[in-house]
């Protein structure tokens, strides 16, 4: 026994033992990975799809510029659901039918959200921030941000230049979000912080597209260093605002002033929220929720508004009908009020039709948290990543799906349509909590813009759709504006 202990005490023997334990651990992980993937691969055999390469999967068949059209084309050929392979080990299942999508939304977890009790706890505490009484006060702030953008366009059109929508609409949406989240009232933001938000959005899109998920590798790349620097700027700004607001709230007089403000911003509501046990959100949770609202809210709304304007430029008859509706509501006013939003039925239908054709988030992902069985008897195990897109152009759901027809969303045409046929904000329990905020901002932006300008396409610059985190254009989205006198 003593001899064995002496042997183990030697440095070489210790290293050998550690190496053996390390190899054993790696083998166990490999076996676990193998069995999990085997279950998924076996289940996917029941879902026919386009032929795949043993190494590349379907990556060699698609290009960012044609990916969305490829997905729609595959959906027509495999109308229920089909697998999309990113290499040999990473499949997703793309539902093309409503029954499949409904099962996914009911059973899946969002990838970029919390899980389990913590998600439920946060969702419950955040929900009051999107109550209509709160959203009501934001409409004036949105109007102010849109008017700054329109003033900027007034100067641009004197130079007879086309307007690139994503850049200007993005600044407007970010300005609006900052006013609603922080009561931040600078003119289109401090440049340094604004740049960091744009930098993060761009880098995160690239990171997801290249599957650079592991920090240990990504942090050493030039993009990784830029990502860390931009995160630091954005998080430092958020932390400073949170600490300053907490300091004010700790003073009883200042707290009374804040609570008597004409409107409470997103941060005010989060700081005043308590759960059933009287516990507040931690500083880390506060920063995470504010950053999520800011990044998701500004990026998705930018995409939605930009493509809505583009649709208006393509279809002048619908644009004019919206303008007449808006002029009848606003009269001589150059701002939108809360009560106006419910009086725009045709404008709302046009917005929804644009969101159907150009969904701001073209790939809403869900990861199955439990096994799911579809109505036709096929089933999938937990852990499979699924992607929802092709439904908006499914010919079994939408007649002439490529045609821009706002009347699809009239009450009589919508009455018998499945609730999961139109899911621009996802669906199920993990739908977008800020969808009403986004719809309000789209209505305000479209109403004020159509009151001031005619929107025409730029025939020399046809946008090329590319799916990133949000739907963008490879070459920008350009329109020509003509001031209404």
Residue 45, CB-side half-sphere exposure with 13 Å CA sphere: 6
Closest alpha carbon to 135 in 444, 468, 482, 375: 444
Give the separation between CA 323 and CA 173, rounded to whole angstroms.
22
Closest CA to 444 of 150, 166, 201: 150
pLDDT of 111 over the 50 cut = no
pLDDT at 342: 96
Rounded to 5 degrees, what are φ and ψ at 349? Answer: -65, -40
pTM: 0.84
Binding-site annotation, residues for heme: 432
- Does residue 3 register a pLDDT over 70? no
Mean pLDDT of 459-481: 92
Please determine, for residue 58, whether its predicted confidence score (pLDDT) is greater than 60: yes
C-beta separation of 473 from 174 below 8 A: no
Q: What is the model's pLDDT at position 133? A: 81
- The span from the CA of 65 to the CA of 334, in Å, is 39
E strand residue ranges, 314-369? 364-368
Residue 426: what pLDDT?
72
Q: What is the dihedral of CA 12, 13, 18, 22, to 10 degrees?
A: 90
Least confident of 157-161, 460-464, 466-470: 157-161
Confidence of residue 374 (pLDDT cuts 50, 70, 90): confident
CA 177 remoteness from chain centre: 14
pLDDT tens track for 148-170: 999 999 988 876 779 999 989 99
Measured CA to CA in angstroms, residue 266 lies from 164, 255, 296, 336 at distances of 30, 15, 14, 21
Q: Which residue has the higher pLDDT, 456 or 416?
A: 456
Q: What is the pLDDT of residue 146?
A: 96
Query: Is pLDDT at 460 greater than 70 in this prediction?
Result: yes
pLDDT at 188: 47
Higher pLDDT, 26 or 15: 26
Q: Give me the helices (H) in 45-190, please.
A: 67-77, 98-107, 116-126, 132-157, 165-182
Q: What percent of the chain has pLDDT over 90?
A: 31
Contact 87, 346 (CB under 8 A): no
Is pLDDT larger for residue 68 or for residue 168? 168
Please state the residue numbers annotated as binding site: 432
Average pLDDT over residues 270-288: 78
Taken in order of first residue, the domains within the chain and their CATH numbers are: 32-116+362-423 (3.30.43.20), 131-359+443-485 (1.10.630.10)
Two tokens, residue 34:
């193998």
Q: How much is the mean pLDDT over the chain?
A: 82
Q: Residue 214 forms beta bridges with which residues?
A: none
- How sure is the predictor about 383, in pLDDT bands with cuts at 50, 70 and 90? low
Q: How far apart are alpha carbons 86 and 44 in whole angstroms?
A: 14
In angstroms, how far is CA 388 from the centroid of its own chain? 13
Residue 196 has pLDDT above 80, yes or no: no
pLDDT bin (cut points 50, 70, 90) of residue 341 is very high
Q: DSSP labels for 411-426?
A: HHHHTTS-TTS--BTB
DSSP per residue over 279-315, as a string? PPPPHHHHHHHHHHHHHHHHHHHHHHHHHHHHHHHH-
């Amino acid at each position: 026994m003593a001899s064995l202990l002496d042997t183990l005490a030697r440095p070489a023997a210790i290293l050998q033992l550690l190496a053996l334990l390390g190899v054993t651990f790696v083998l166990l992980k490999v076996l676990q990975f193998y069995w999990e993937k085997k279950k998924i691969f076996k289940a996917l055999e029941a879902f026919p799809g386009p032929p795949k390469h043993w190494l590349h999967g379907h990556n060699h068949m698609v290009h960012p510029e044609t990916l969305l059209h490829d997905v729609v084309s595959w959906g027509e050929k495999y109308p229920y659901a089909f697998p999309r392979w990113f290499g040999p080990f990473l499949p997703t299942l793309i539902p093309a039918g409503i029954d499949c999508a409904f099962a996914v939304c009911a059973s899946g977890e969002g990838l970029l959200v919390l899980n389990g009790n913590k998600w439920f706890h946060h969702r419950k505490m955040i929900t009051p921030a999107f109550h209509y009484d709160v959203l009501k006060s934001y409409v004036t702030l949105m109007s102010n941000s849109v008017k700054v953008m329109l003033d900027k366009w007034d100067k641009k059109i004197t130079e007879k230049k086309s307007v690139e929508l994503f850049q200007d609409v993005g600044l407007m949406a970010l300005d609006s979000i900052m006013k609603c989240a922080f009561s931040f009232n600078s003119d289109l933001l401090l440049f340094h912080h604004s740049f960091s938000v744009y930098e993060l959005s761009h880098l995160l899109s690239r990171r997801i597209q290249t599957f650079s998920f592991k920090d240990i590798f990504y942090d050493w790349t030039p993009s990784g260093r830029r990502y860390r620097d931009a995160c630091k700027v954005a998080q430092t700004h958020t932390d400073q605002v949170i600490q300053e607001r907490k300091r004010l709230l700790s003073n009883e007089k200042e707290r009374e002033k804040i609570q008597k403000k004409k409107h409470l911003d997103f941060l005010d509501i989060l700081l005043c929220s308590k759960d059933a046990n009287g516990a507040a959100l931690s500083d880390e949770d506060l920063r995470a929720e504010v950053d999520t609202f800011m990044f998701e809210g500004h990026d998705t709304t930018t995409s939605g508004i930009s493509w809505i304007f583009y649709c208006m430029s393509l279809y002048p008859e619908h644009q004019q009908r919206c303008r007449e509706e808006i002029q009848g509501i606003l009269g001589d006013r150059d701002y939108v009020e809360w009560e106006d939003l419910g009086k725009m039925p045709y404008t709302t239908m046009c917005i929804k039709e644009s969101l159907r054709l150009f969904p701001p988030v073209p790939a809403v992902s869900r990861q199955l948290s439990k096994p799911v069985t579809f109505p036709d008897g096929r089933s999938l195990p937990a852990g499979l990543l699924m992607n929802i897109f092709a439904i908006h152009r499914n010919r079994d759901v939408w007649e002439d799906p490529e045609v821009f027809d706002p009347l699809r969303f009239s009450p009589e045409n919508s009455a018998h349509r499945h609730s999961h046929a139109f899911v621009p904000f996802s669906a199920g329990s993990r739908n977008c909590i800020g969808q009403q905020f986004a719809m309000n901002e789209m209505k305000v932006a479209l109403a004020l813009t159509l009151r001031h300008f005619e929107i025409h396409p730029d025939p020399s610059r046809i946008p090329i759709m590319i799916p990133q985190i949000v739907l963008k254009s490879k070459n920008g989205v350009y329109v020509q504006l003509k001031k209404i006198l």
